[in-house]
Chain A
Amino acid sequence: MSQVKNENWGSRIGLILAMAGNAVGLGNFLRFPVQAVQNGGGAFLIPYLVCFLIMGIPLLWVEWAMGRFGGRYGHHSSPFIMGAMDKRQIWKYVGVFGIFTNIGVAAYYSYIESWTLSYSLRSISGWFHGKSEMEILNHFDSYTGMQSHFLGIPNEALLFFVIVILLNTFILARGLKGIEKMAKVGMPLLIFFAIFLVINGLSNKSGSNSAEYNPWIGLDFLWTPQFDSLLSPKVWLAAAGQIFFTLSVGMGTIHCYASYMKSHEDVALNAITTGFTNEFVEIVLGSMIVVPIAAGFLGLDWIKEHISFGAAFQTMPFLFDNWGLILGSVSGLFWFGLLFFAGITSSLAMGMPWISFLQDEFGWKQKNAAYTFGLIVFLLGLPTVLFYNQGVFSEYDYWAGTVSLVIFALLELILFSWVFGMKRGWEEITLGADIRIPQFYSFVIRYITPSLLFFVLIAAIITPEGNNWLGALKSLFNGNGWSLDSSSMIQQIMNKGLHEQLLLAKGEEFTKIEEKIRLINGARILLVTVFGGISLLVFFAQKKHKTKNQQNYE
């Protein structure tokens, strides 16, 4: 067993804000409204909230309880937290996901974070003022294509990527105090910026500031419940996926943060409070910015056809500019500023599991461990910066930021409720609790949440063509088989979509797709190498503990 550390969070509100900062990310403002628009509008909130209650909250309680349990034995990273819960070595290697996903996600997440920093500075300097929609769109392409300059310095994308990594490393080197301070500043500022944008966006009437429409038509479209959509399995799966990713569960960051709590500190109230704080930012603020502002200037047809993650960078600066130089620049700063704070409070959380692992198991100093995190993220993230347009970024997001999370969450639930045991698990969750958790949640954690996660995983593996589940089931029962969508995990592994494009491509296009396939396979090899490398370190750490225990025994 490693040496028990005494490092704890400075205050309870600091812990809550750091945990909420971990959960609140770019997805709250960019992914949620897109998902709601595409999956039944207001009715999407029904499966979304149901999944929050039966999957999100239980997973939060489980991860917080696991983390605090591991911390009691001096472990702050998933491999050894899980190892403390069951003696079988396999769990330590399952716990590798809890470090791997963080490094893998931080590698590409830091890149988006760097866009927000660059765009904040460009906004406040008035650079976007007077630019056409096409010019702003072209700037994004030239930025991600490594062709843009910043103050005469070439490779703007690389420059800001390095700055963001250095900033993260600097804060992480200061340990929990640095993270807590960042959360205490970043979270209130994020909420303030969001409220400012909501008020500004909704008070912009049609006919004023070049707005053709009333922004409320966007909210009308977003919130009108289309109840028939509730019958579609696609909508339920989208809701489960959104809840899962918005809460940052299945990553190991919650294990790590919770492991620094005091051994009898409340888990029940803290966990549910961070969950609801995230929901407040997502449902109340996240739904009220992009959709109404874009609807006011570009209309509902644009929303239906073009709303996407990229719109935050490709379109929003143009829309803000309609408010005039000063208000437009300030709004741009606030928009990209809130995305930056949402991003950095999450990327800091991704650094801690690796740092804690090196500290606990190899006796490294906080600073040195933080520097290695920065270096690894830089090296692993470099291909996403250099080959963004060739799909490397999306590949990292899919395997490290999507698939790994669901697998890890499912396995940790099995460990917690079936191996460690629900009786002990329930005692852990309710130990020191400031609220009473209804007993039926014990049943939910043991049966419902893992089943739901299992369905989400299976659905990702065998997604039917066009995401049409009812049609696929009918086809299966009629003996016509199950036709897979190119977004299904099976087809993704085979690069089916790209191979189909290859068949139709000729000349330069053919070479481009071939290169893309090579880069995507290279990205996969890199990710597998990282996973293998961490597993090897876990093996050595385990061996070290064994030798130490034998020496103590002798």
Chain B
Amino acid sequence: MNSLALFWMISIQLSVTVITIYLLYKVLSSKKKSNDDK
């Protein structure tokens, strides 16, 4: 695999993965707040 394609693939896939995990973490960590609303 050429280095430009590899760099491009890893940087985009890693960014999307990290952001998704961060957002899911934020949702799960605010679970307590959501339960308190009930």
Q: Which chain A residues have a beta carbon within 8 Å of chain B's beta carbons?
A: 11-13, 16, 41-42, 45, 49, 216-217, 219-220, 223-225, 262, 264-266, 269-270, 272-273, 276-277, 279-280, 283-284, 434-435
- Say whether A265 contacts B23, CB under 8 Å: no
Q: Please name the residue on chain A nearest to B26 by beta carbon.
A: A269
Task: Report how far A284 CA is from B13 CA in the complex, Å.
Answer: 5
Contacts of A13 in B (CB 8 A): 27-28, 31
Contacting pair A276 B13 (CB below 8 A):
no
- Judging by beta carbons under 8 Å apart, are B13 and A273 in contact? no
User: Do B23 and A434 touch across chains, with their CB atoms under 8 A apart?
Assistant: no
Q: Which residue of A lies closest to B22 (CB)?
A: A276
Known: A12-B27, A223-B9. A265 touches B2 (CB 8 A): no
User: Which residues of B from 17 to 38 have beta carbons under 8 Å from A?
Assistant: 17, 19-20, 23-24, 26-28, 30-31, 33-34, 37-38
Tell me the nearest residue of chain B to A219, going by C-beta. Answer: B1
A276 touches B20 (CB 8 A): yes
Sample of 20 more A-B contacts, CB < 8 Å, known A12-B31, A276-B19, A276-B23: A12-B27, A13-B31, A42-B9, A42-B12, A217-B1, A219-B9, A220-B1, A223-B9, A262-B37, A265-B34, A266-B34, A269-B23, A269-B26, A269-B30, A273-B23, A276-B16, A277-B20, A277-B24, A283-B13, A434-B26
Q: How far apart are B34's CB and chain A's nearest CB, in angstroms?
A: 5
Our pick among B4, B12, B27, B33 for the contact of A16 (Cβ within 8 Å) is: B27
A168 to chain B, nearest CB (A): 27
Q: Would you call B16 and A280 a contact (CB within 8 A)? A: yes
- B8 to A42, Cβ gap below 8 A? yes
Which of chain A's residues have a CB closer than 8 A to the CB of B37?
262, 264-265
Given A12-B34, A272-B23, residue A224 in contact with residue B13 (CB < 8 A): no
CB-CB < 8 A to A283: which residues of B?
A: 12-13, 16
Instruction: Please state if A225 and B5 are interface contacts (CB–CB under 8 Å).
Output: yes
Interface residues of B (CB under 8 A from A): 1-2, 4-6, 8-9, 12-13, 16-17, 19-20, 23-24, 26-28, 30-31, 33-34, 37-38
Q: Are B8 and A225 in contact (CB under 8 A)?
A: yes
Which chain B residue lies CB-closest to A278? B20
Give the complex CA separation of A435 and B33 in angstroms: 13
A1: min CB distance to chain B, Å: 24
Q: Does A273 contact B24, Cβ atoms closer than 8 Å?
A: yes
CA distance A262 to B17 in the complex (A): 29
The CA-CA distance from A339 to B9 in the complex, in Å, is: 24
Give B28's nearest chain A residue, CB to CB: A13
A279 touches B16 (CB 8 A): yes
Task: Determine the distance from Cα of A419 to Cα of B27 in the docked complex, in whole angstroms.
Answer: 32
Q: Which of A12, A272, A435 has the most CB of B within 10 A?
A: A12
Min CB distance, B4 to chain A, in Å?
7
Give Cα A276–Cα B9 distance, bound, in whole angstroms: 17
Please state if A280 and B9 are interface contacts (CB–CB under 8 Å).
Answer: no
**Measured CA separation A45–B5 after assembly (Å):** 12
Rank and list the top 8 A-B pairs by shortest CB-CB distance, nearest first. A223-B5, A273-B23, A223-B9, A280-B20, A224-B5, A276-B20, A220-B1, A42-B8
Q: How far is the CA of A407 from the CA of B32 in the complex (A)?
A: 40
Residues of B within 8 A of A284 (CB): 13, 16-17
Which of B1, B27, B30 is packed against the most chain A CB atoms within 10 Å? B27
Which residues does chain A contribute within 8 Å of B1, judged by CB atoms? 216-217, 219-220, 223
Pick the contact of B5: A42, A269, A270, A277 (CB < 8 A).
A42
Residues in chain A near residue B19, CB distance under 8 A: 276
> Which residues of the partner chain B approach A223 to less than 8 Å between Cβ atoms?
1, 5-6, 8-9
A residues less than 8 Å from B2 (CB atoms): 220, 224
- Least CB distance from A463 to B in Å reads 29
Nearest CB on A from B31, distance (A): 6
A273 interface neighbour in B4, B12, B27, B31, Cβ under 8 Å: B27
Q: A266 contacts which chain B residues (CB < 8 A)?
A: 30, 34
Q: Are A269 and B8 in contact (CB under 8 A)?
A: no
Closest to A282 in B: B16
Complex Cα distance, B14 from A284, in Å, reads: 8
Q: In the complex, which residues of chain B have a beta carbon less than 8 angstroms from the beta carbon of A224?
A: 2, 4-5, 8
Q: How far is the CB of B21 from chain A (nearest CB, A)?
A: 9
Within the assembled complex, what's the spacing in Å between the Cα atoms of A11 and B38? 11
How long is the Cα–Cα vector from A277 to B19 in the complex, in angstroms? 9
**A-B pairs with beta carbons under 8 Å apart, 18 shown:** A11-B31, A12-B27, A12-B31, A42-B5, A216-B1, A220-B1, A223-B5, A224-B4, A224-B8, A225-B4, A225-B8, A262-B37, A269-B30, A277-B23, A277-B24, A279-B16, A283-B13, A284-B13
